Structure 1
Amino acid sequence: MPTTENDVPTGSIPLALQSLFYKLQYNDTSVATKELTKSFGWDTYDSFMQHDVQELNRVLCEKLEDKMKGTVVEGTIQQLFEGHHMNYIECINVDYKSTRKESYYDLQLDVKGCRDVYASFDKYVEVERLEGDNKYHAEEHGLQDAKKGVLFIDFPPVLQLQLKRFEYDFMRDAMVKINDRYEFPLQLDLDRENGKYLSPDADRSVRNLYTLHSVLVHSGGVHGGHYYAFIRPTLSDQWYKFDDERVTKEDVKRALEEQYGGEEELPQTNPGFNNTPFKFTKYSNAYMLVYIRESDKDKIICDVDEKDIAEHLRIRLKKEQEEKEDKRRYKAQAHLYTIIKVARDEDLAEQTGRDIYFDLVDHDKVRSFRIQKQTPFTAFKEEVAKEFGIPVQFQRFWIWAKRQNHTYRPNRPLLAQEESQTISSLMSKVSDVYASFDKYVEVDARG
Structure 2
Amino acid sequence: MSHGVVEIFRKGLDTLHISDYHGLVSPGLTCYLNTVLQVLFMTEEFRDQIKRCVPDVRTLDSHLKDFFTELEKKKTRTHRITQILGIDDVYEQRDAAEYFEKVLRLTSPKASRIFKGELNHVTKCYECKNQSDARGFFWILPLSIKEPHQTFKVDSGLEEFFCDEKVDGENKMYCAKCDKKQEAIIMCEMTQPPDVLTLLLKRFHYDYELRRNVKLRCEAEVPLTLQIKDCTYDLYAMVKHSGNLSGGHYTANILSVATKEWYCFDDERVKLKSNLVSGKTPLRSHSAYLLMYMKRRDPENATENGEEVLNSGDEAKETMMEARWNREDETQEDDRKKRTETVKDIIGLPSSQSQIKLSNSKHAVVQYEQNSNKQVSDKKTV
Q: TM-score band (shorter)?
A: 0.5 to 0.7
Q: 1:93 Cα deviation (Å)?
A: 4.5
Q: 1:36 Cα deviation (Å)?
A: 2.3
Q: How far apart, in 1, do the equivalents of 2:194 and 2:258 lie? A: 18
Q: 1:20 Cα deviation (Å)?
A: 2.2
Given the two structures, how large is their TM-score scaled by the length of structure 1? 0.49
Stretch deviating more after TM superposition (125-134 or 101-110)? 125-134
Q: 1:170 to 1:160 in 2, by over 3 A?
A: same
Alignment correspondent of 1:141: 178
Q: Of 223, 232, 242, which residue of structure 2 is paired with 1:209? A: 232
Alignment correspondent of 2:274: 251
Alignment correspondent of 1:39: 84
Q: 1:140 to 1:160 in 2, by over 3 A?
A: closer
Q: How far apart, in 2, do the equivalents of 1:162 and 1:85 lie? A: 16
Alignment correspondent of 2:291: 289
1:104-146: CA deviation from partner (whole Å, max 9, x where unpaired): 1111111232721122122212322234565444333355443
Q: Secondary structure at the match of 2:107?
A: helix
Q: 1:296 to 1:112 in 2, by over 3 A?
A: farther
Q: Of 118, 127, 132, which residue of structure 2 is paired with 1:98? A: 132
Q: Secondary structure at the match of 1:26?
A: coil
Q: 1:190 Cα deviation (Å)?
A: 1.2
1:76 aligned to 2:123?
no
Contact 1:86-1:152 at 8 Å conserved across structures: yes
Q: How far apart, in 2, do the equivalents of 1:116 and 1:252 lie? A: 22
1:180 aligned to 2:218?
yes
Alignment correspondent of 2:103: 60
Q: Secondary structure at the match of 1:140?
A: coil
1:14 aligned to 2:37?
no
Stretch deviating more after TM superposition (11-20 or 107-116)? 11-20
Q: 1:235 to 1:98 in 2, by over 3 A?
A: farther
Report the AA paired with residue 50 of structure 1: Q
Q: 1:48 Cα deviation (Å)?
A: 2.4
Q: How far apart, in 1, do the equivalents of 2:127 and 2:80 lie? A: 60
Contact 2:222-2:283 at 8 Å conserved across structures: no
Q: 1:185 Cα deviation (Å)?
A: 0.9
Q: How far apart, in 1, do the equivalents of 2:83 and 2:125 lie? A: 52
Figure out how many residues of one structure are paired with residues of the other and give that number: 246
Alignment correspondent of 1:24: 71
Alignment correspondent of 2:153: 116
Q: CA RMSD in A?
A: 3.1
Q: 1:252 to 1:212 in 2, by over 3 A?
A: farther
Contact 1:111-1:182 at 8 Å conserved across structures: no
Gaps in structure 2 of 5+ consecutive residues:
1-52, 308-382
Q: How far apart, in 2, do the equivalents of 1:186 and 1:252 lie? A: 14
Contact 1:220-1:226 at 8 Å conserved across structures: yes
1:87 aligned to 2:87?
no
The correspondence of residues 17-416 of structure 1 with structure 2, limited to 5 A, is 17-27=64-74, 30-43=75-88, 46-65=89-108, 74-77=109-112, 79-113=113-147, 115-131=152-168, 134-142=171-179, 144-191=182-229, 207-234=230-257, 237-253=260-276, 260-261=285-286, 285-295=287-297
Alignment correspondent of 2:324: none
1:269-308: CA deviation from partner (whole Å, max 9, x where unpaired): xxxxxxxxxxxxxxxx111111110028989x989xxxxx
Stretch deviating more after TM superposition (122-131 or 133-142)? 133-142
Higher helix share: 2
Given the two structures, how large is their TM-score scaled by the length of structure 2? 0.57
Contact 1:230-1:242 at 8 Å conserved across structures: yes
Q: 1:244 to 1:149 in 2, by over 3 A?
A: same
Report the AA paired with residue 108 of structure 1: P
Q: How far apart, in 2, do the equivalents of 1:150 and 1:62 lie? A: 24
Specify which structure has the bigger relative contact order, considering alpha-carbon pairs within 8 angstroms and separated by 6 or more residues: 2
Contact 2:262-2:276 at 8 Å conserved across structures: no
Alignment correspondent of 1:443: none
Alignment correspondent of 1:272: none
Q: Secondary structure at the match of 1:253?
A: coil
Stretch deviating more after TM superposition (250-259 or 134-143)? 250-259
Q: 1:218 to 1:145 in 2, by over 3 A?
A: closer
Q: Secondary structure at the match of 2:218?
A: coil
Q: 1:155 Cα deviation (Å)?
A: 1.4
Q: How far apart, in 2, do the equivalents of 1:162 and 1:223 lie? A: 19
Q: 1:251 Cα deviation (Å)?
A: 3.0
Q: Secondary structure at the match of 1:118?
A: helix
Q: 1:115 to 1:139 in 2, by over 3 A?
A: same
1:368-392: CA deviation from partner (whole Å, max 9, x where unpaired): xxxxxxxxxxxxxxxxxxxxxxxxx
Report the AA paired with residue 106 of structure 1: I
Contact 2:200-2:291 at 8 Å conserved across structures: yes
Q: 1:140 to 1:244 in 2, by over 3 A?
A: closer
Report the AA paired with residue 120 of structure 1: G
Report the AA paired with residue 260 of structure 1: S
What is the identity percentage for the equivalent residue pairs of Structure 1 and Structure 2? 26
